[in-house]
Structure 1
Amino acid sequence: MTPTNVGSLDPRFMLARARMVIAREVLDAESCPATVGQIALHAHQRRAAARILTLLRAYGGALLADATGLGKTFVALAVAGGVERILIVAPASLRDGWRRSAALAGIQASFVSLERLSRGIASPMRDPELVIVDEAHHLRNARTKRYSAVAALCDRARVLLLSATPLQNRRNDLVAQLALFLGDDALSATDAELARYIVRRRTADTTIHMPAVHGPEWIRLPNDDDLLDELMGLPPPLPAEDEGEAGALVSYTLLRQWASSRAALVAALRRRLAKAFALISSLETGRWPTRDAIAAWSQADTSVQLALPELLSPLGSRLPIDIEAMLVAVRAHADGIRAMLATLRGRPDPDPVRAAALAAIAYRHGDARILAFSQYADTVRALSRLLIGGGHAVAELTARGGRVAGGRLQRSTVLAQFTPGLSDAKPRAADRIALLVTTDVLSEGLDLQRASVVVHVDLPWNPARLEQRVGRVRRLGSPHEIVHVYAFAPPASSERVLRVESRLRTKLRLAGRIVGLDATSIPDAEIGAADPAPEATSATLALLERWRDASVADQVSTADEQSAVLCASVDAPNDGFLALLADGDERILLGKIEPGNAGTDPVMVDRVVRLCAGDAVAPLPSAIQATLDDIAAWCQRRAARSRLAMSSPVGACLRRRISARITSVLATAPRYERATLAPIASRARDALGASLGAGAERALENLARSDG
């Protein structure tokens, strides 16, 4: 619309029309059916699927980071509808759940576990069209074998990442995951730019029923077992030949095990003693063993056996100068551990007090089912057996399987009492499991909503693990109104050294600022940013839905439909603008609030959209022209960045080297072949300018290094 004909139209109709056009262009680029096979999708799932389809089409990938329990699996299957070659990559424990869900959706998909890829086993499908990576935070380290394998699978495919907790410890966790489809572009992206590829909604952003969370509530236990000075005073260990110095790390690890249970600490000390004995035996033969050599020793509690240390511990590449000094060090460490074990035998065991605290929680909640999580299998075994001995309806579950008072149980049998749909048969009263004590083997990807109480027996370094634990219970379709959460507080003296709570709060603030959090994972924790970029985007889209639904198509003159630019104005406390731009298939919301600059930062755009809720006023021609000038300037800056960007410096170097090779091949080709090669070379140079995933970037690197 030109400034000359603005005044001829009713401002109210123009505002309604502008809102509707913006909303429809942004929201209706993709659509999603209400059902996928036998699965009926909720409104928030359809919206997520539609937005992901737009991102896949525009950028080749997306990260769905919805809060736990909102049904990310069904959203992914809705996105996969109509795709022929689908590969699902996930932890092995989620295989059965994915197969059941895919069968309900009527979708054929291959599955490969992250564990198999870590062992170098090939995927059952080559060249998939769509790769769905569940629990994608397992790919936060680009130096691992599993990451390289997944990156290669994503080379030519569209990529959908699923994780409620993609940012576990640091910002680079998120960058590594997004690099699977963005490649080097992820390395140089700002927080706001990374947020463009993330779809995340909190439970509060949906209209579905989800249980409220009560807690976390601290459970503070008597601190009569203060071992801080003894643990910190242990002589440092001697590392294996291929290990770095790890004295401080060993002390911290022992402190965490002490904070978990006496059983975990004793088991860890015995393993340390077994390793020290292995080192002593090998050093006495003149050999400094590697980690693998030490692992080859058979261990059973305190018994260690090595038949031929000369064969299992070959001479290393870094022979020590003073074997005798090393023997003195490792013997001192072993003597310190023996003294510590003797001290523990003379002190009361605090584990029965922990078990009694769990029993008190179970008594408080009557017939409710309870999940108690620990990082350590030794803690799980000790507490569950104390509770079983007290006559409680308890089961334990670790990576080795399940156990109840009557003996071992299969994992599936235990889960059937906590997962809806696995078994409709009601267990006998004698077989009912009221309290399941488990390791974090159950903290990811499983639906355990028949439970309504979660207990953190210990606190991991990673706050995402806490959110995952609660997310097993607080899920879409839960029959409970409230989920109760408890956390055993670490001993005060260990907290002074480890600062577990402080570290968790710092990581929570980082995750809250960049990705967002649904709730606090530890008591009295501040989440951080009120509107992280991905959640701000979801809030913006929710407002646009209201704009779209307020249709005024029949009330507006068709004159505005024939205009090049559609303009409207509102009465607002700040000057600025909201503009919808089209770049091919991509729709861009550009915002500005005076005196700032125009931009696409999701938090700022969300604020601009909210300001557009004011009453309509007639726009001034001068304001329209100033807005058009701002938009043109922003477009010029964007085009300049695109021309300058060769992604990261590493990617730019690779592309320059390959471009030089293309030029060299063309220059050295026989004259009669150059006419044929020239258009191929041109297309190759165009391809170098495209955004590539991590797998393709690595292929480029190999090509640049090759001699052919």
Structure 2
Amino acid sequence: MNLHSGQIIEMRNRLWRVDEFSETELFATPINGDYNDKRVFLRDIEQIKPAELDKISKDLVGDFQAQRMLLHAYQFDLMHGSAPFLSLQRSAVIPYNYQLVPLVLALEKSKARILIADDVGLGKTIEAGLIISELMQRGKVKRILILTPANLKEQWQEAMEYFFHIESKIISSLSRKEYEKQLPAGANPWQYFQVVIASIDYAKAPEVKHLIQEQQWDLLLVDEVHLCARPHATFRASKQMKRYELVRDLGKHIPNVLFLTATPHNGYTDSFASILEILNDKIVTTTSGNTFLNKPAAKYNVCQRNRKKLENWYKKQGIASPFPKRKAEEVFVDVYESKKLANCFNEVLEYGDRLLVNAQGAGRKYNIATWVAFHLQKRAISSPYALVKSIENRLATVENKLEFEETEEEVLSGSVQDLFFEDRMTDEMASSKLDKELLNEADKEELKSLLHTAKAVKPADDVKLQELKNKTIPELHAIDKKIIVFTKYKDTLEYLESNLAGNDYDIFTMHGDLSLTKRQEIFLHFENTKKAILIATDVISEGLNLQRLSSCIVHYELPWNPNRLEQRNGRVDRIGQLKEKVHIRTFVLDKTLDKDILDLLITKANNIREDRGYSAAYFGDEEYIKAVLQEATKRNRKRRKKNVQEGPTLFDAIGQDKVKEAVKKIYLKGRGRSAFAKNRRGKFLRQSEHRPAGNR
């Protein structure tokens, strides 16, 4: 029979709408479905009959059920004929007006190529999902590739299904093998599924990248796209370069591109520009080695709103802000209130000094020694138990004469700087590698002495633990019966779990060794418990929405990367928070230069936020953090109980006040300040040109 688009046919005992057809194939959607239900049939083997919808019968006049169905039919017909956004008909969300702005922007041009750079907690996933759903309903896109950090794959799959009724498949090294067993012989999972989700680091592997590039995709979405920016010209970052090359190559050939990030600018214009030029090469101009950004050319390619601007907009409209207020306080703990704890810290510092002395004159070896020294300090700052486990690891490696493969310096430095790792590397794995670096037989006695000193610090001597247990948790429980406590290390998580047990609240823990199913069970138990704390590592710091579970967060140790801190806060400080205020407590060891370093990191991050209107990933650059930390962690040697051999050390005797001034110079007058000044001349993310819907 002859076919035409929009025709109603009967096939397989169902009514279908004809969408597309050729001599051999027929694309049709069931009458009771939507675009996502489209199916492909071979015309030669199907029994296709002309059909039509039932006419309205006069005999049904007065039938309540029939009248209600007719009314609904007219309503749906009206929506399809006049509603501006088809995606709203099939989504399970009621978006805030500002969340419709990226959707409007995406429909302004024939191809949607947009960077959504809204603040943490504004709902970038919802904004992107609305765009994808809308383009699918309008028939503009069919095949979609979503690339995310590894820990966000399942969340994206759940969000697409729950909010937008879009089915997707996650392809990884494991699932791909399973799909190949289940699919028809010779079928390629990358080609077979309409909507595919994969981790960026899995997709960048040459053998995987080749398979992805062979497919015809209609839309590419990259979450946390700042991880895929081209590295700054003066630094080497091979993994990030591979991510950039993957996204660049895909972005050239896929017509619709959505980039998502809350931290688009890492302080270097050339890196930021590398993201923008994928979307629209007219935005970026390079002359004599200098990169310039053309703001007018990016009008339809960049949508960035910060929370402060949106709150002001709501205030002007006389509308209550949907965002909670944030009350953040630092909890300063004096390590020298405990003699045993102070002795432990001093021995850790001395051991770090000795590592650097022994590595003098060796380039890579000296760098590794620096990161190991920092690492042991961070473990001591976290908890005495975490330090004990590290020293035990080092001692066992020496005594058993174990051999380990040489670890990339990028992994070791990234662990110290609290950078996020790719698929196969966790914080615990990186920490374990640092524990076993730069060891020899001569270290044995010193390690035994340090282990004895660390083990002597009992929970009663741990002033930070006592502060958390006896003051911070009771104060926050008076505000909210559910508290989330973040720590970097699983060892510290276990230490807290053990020493907080026996109180009038339940304790739950979450770390990277748990399966996704187990984590979901824990979240459910945490939600249903009347009074509890959830102790978690950074496995839940990115992407997860916990605003309905708690309004209180404790950072048991402060990350050296402010991005990680803001990611944690964004789990509860976001739209949908049930409380009017979120309360955040951050533990900092007082009377150490460590406090000065971390204060300056956060102060600088806050300055960027105030100055530029968004949270920058400025401290995500390995070389810059390294330079700052090496300069900033010089301490007064007079605190030591004994002297160390002369030579390059992590600390010198210039005095804490002078060092603090030097740190301020680095941040406020040195390279950092000039970089910000340069970026301000070329910036256009401070205030989006696209105002919230309803105020256009």
Query: Shorter-chain TM-score category?
Result: 0.5 to 0.7
Shift of 1:464: 1.3
Shift of 1:399: 0.2
Asked if 1:93 corresponds to 2:151, the answer is yes
Please name the residue that 2:328 is paired with. 215
The structure-2 alpha-carbon separation of the partners of 1:32 and 1:389, relative to structure 1 and needing over 3 Å to count, comes to: same
The structure-2 alpha-carbon separation of the partners of 1:75 and 1:372, relative to structure 1 and needing over 3 Å to count, comes to: same
Q: What is the CA deviation profile of residues 246-300 of structure 1, one whole-angstrom value per residue up to 9, with x for unaligned ones?
A: 222211121122111112222222333344457x566xxxxx96349xx9xxxxx
The correspondence for 1:236, drawn from 355, 374, 385, is 355
TM-score normalised to the size of structure 1? 0.56
Q: Which moved more, 1:136-145 or 1:176-185?
A: 176-185
Q: Which moved more, 1:94-103 or 1:482-491?
A: 94-103
The residue correspondences of 1:182-331 to structure 2 (distance < 5 A) are 185=284, 188-190=290-292, 193=295, 197-204=301-308, 205=310, 207=314, 208-220=321-333, 222-223=335-336, 224=338, 225-226=341-342, 227-234=344-351, 235-236=354-355, 245-276=367-398, 290-291=406-407, 330-331=440-441
SS of 1:396 mapped into structure 2: strand
Shift of 1:488: 0.4
Shift of 1:195: 7.9
Asked if 1:49 corresponds to 2:103, the answer is yes
Shift of 1:147: 4.0
Q: What is the CA deviation profile of residues 35-85 of structure 1, one whole-angstrom value per residue up to 9, with x for unaligned ones?
A: 26223322101113223555894xx74321212221111110222222222
Find the aligned partners of 2:208 and 2:512 in 1 and give their Cα distance. Answer: 24
Amino acid at match of 1:290: E
Shift of 1:388: 2.2
The correspondence for 2:562, drawn from 457, 463, 467, is 463
Please name the residue that 1:571 is paired with. none
Find the aligned partners of 2:506 and 2:266 in 1 and give their Cα distance. Answer: 34
Preserved contact between residue 380 and residue 438 of structure 1 (Cα < 8 Å): yes
SS of 1:153 mapped into structure 2: helix
The correspondence for 1:400, drawn from 489, 500, 513, is 513
Please name the residue that 1:575 is paired with. none
The correspondence for 1:131, drawn from 220, 243, 262, is 220
SS of 2:592 mapped into structure 1: helix
Asked if 1:153 corresponds to 2:255, the answer is no
Find the aligned partners of 2:524 and 2:597 in 1 and give their Cα distance. Answer: 38
Amino acid at match of 2:250: L
Asked if 1:445 corresponds to 2:543, the answer is yes
Please name the residue that 1:559 is paired with. none
SS of 2:558 mapped into structure 1: coil
Please name the residue that 1:690 is paired with. none
Please name the residue that 1:369 is paired with. 482
Asked if 1:105 corresponds to 2:207, the answer is no
The correspondence for 1:72, drawn from 97, 100, 124, is 124
The structure-2 alpha-carbon separation of the partners of 1:341 and 1:412, relative to structure 1 and needing over 3 Å to count, comes to: same
Please name the residue that 2:496 is paired with. 383
Please name the residue that 1:537 is paired with. 687
The correspondence for 2:577, drawn from 478, 488, 512, is 478
Please name the residue that 2:522 is paired with. 414
Question: What is the aligned length?
Answer: 456
Preserved contact between residue 114 and residue 259 of structure 2 (Cα < 8 Å): yes
Find the aligned partners of 1:335 and 1:456 in 2 and give their Cα distance. Answer: 35
Please name the residue that 1:116 is paired with. 202
Preserved contact between residue 490 and residue 511 of structure 2 (Cα < 8 Å): yes
Find the aligned partners of 1:168 and 1:472 in 2 and give their Cα distance. Answer: 22
Aligned identity (percent) is 24
Amino acid at match of 1:86: I
Find the aligned partners of 1:199 and 1:133 in 2 and give their Cα distance. Answer: 15
Asked if 1:492 corresponds to 2:591, the answer is yes
Shift of 1:350: 6.2
Shift of 1:127: 3.4
Amino acid at match of 1:439: T
The structure-2 alpha-carbon separation of the partners of 1:510 and 1:268, relative to structure 1 and needing over 3 Å to count, comes to: farther
Q: What is the CA deviation profile of residues 368-427 of structure 1, one whole-angstrom value per residue up to 9, with x for unaligned ones?
A: 31111111121112112211244531111110128xxxxx99111122356xxxxxxx73
Preserved contact between residue 97 and residue 694 of structure 2 (Cα < 8 Å): no
Preserved contact between residue 395 and residue 433 of structure 1 (Cα < 8 Å): no
The structure-2 alpha-carbon separation of the partners of 1:90 and 1:544, relative to structure 1 and needing over 3 Å to count, comes to: closer
Find the aligned partners of 1:261 and 1:174 in 2 and give their Cα distance. Answer: 38
| Unmatched tracts of structure 1, length 5 or more | 1-30, 283-287, 296-326, 403-407, 419-425, 549-708
| Unmatched tracts of structure 2, length 5 or more | 1-83, 136-140, 168-194, 232-237, 315-320, 412-436, 620-666
The structure-2 alpha-carbon separation of the partners of 1:545 and 1:179, relative to structure 1 and needing over 3 Å to count, comes to: same
SS of 1:451 mapped into structure 2: coil
Find the aligned partners of 1:218 and 1:328 in 2 and give their Cα distance. Answer: 34
Q: What is the CA deviation profile of residues 515-546 of structure 1, one whole-angstrom value per residue up to 9, with x for unaligned ones?
A: 6149xx9xxx99999x99555433x5449975
Find the aligned partners of 1:249 and 1:258 in 2 and give their Cα distance. Answer: 14
Please name the residue that 1:568 is paired with. none
SS of 1:338 mapped into structure 2: helix
SS of 2:355 mapped into structure 1: coil
CA RMSD of aligned residues (A): 4.3
Q: What is the CA deviation profile of residues 612-663 of structure 1, one whole-angstrom value per residue up to 9, with x for unaligned ones?
A: xxxxxxxxxxxxxxxxxxxxxxxxxxxxxxxxxxxxxxxxxxxxxxxxxxxx
Find the aligned partners of 1:462 and 1:78 in 2 and give their Cα distance. Answer: 32
Shift of 1:105: 1.7
